[in-house]
């Protein structure tokens, strides 16, 4: 029997990890590497590299839009 608070349909999940650093040899630019996984048990896969706050935000927004537009697993 399913607990009353459990969802009737399994949730769609996604994981986005953002690793950021400041490049010392390039005028202190903020850089980020984004990796993704469908769930905690799945291997992480490289997704994107972005530079600067606007670029990093754009990369995160693009990932979120792809997640929303992707068919359910």
Check pLDDT > 90 for residue 46. Answer: no
CA–CA dist 59, 70 (Å, integer):
16
Q: Give the pLDDT band (50/70/90) at residue 59.
A: very high
Of 51 and 28, more confident: 51
Q: Give the pLDDT band (50/70/90) at residue 38.
A: confident
Question: Residue 12: its pLDDT value, please?
Answer: 79
Q: What is the mean pLDDT of residues 42-60?
A: 92
């Amino acid at each position: 029997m399913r607990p009353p608070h459990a969802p009737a349909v399994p949730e769609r999940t996604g994981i986005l990890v953002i690793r950021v650093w400041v490049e010392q040899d390039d005028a202190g630019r903020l850089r980020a590497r984004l990796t993704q996984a469908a769930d905690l048990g799945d291997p992480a896969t490289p997704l994107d590299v972005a530079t600067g706050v606007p670029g990093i935000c754009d990369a995160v927004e693009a990932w979120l839009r792809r997640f929303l537009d992707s068919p359910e697993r």
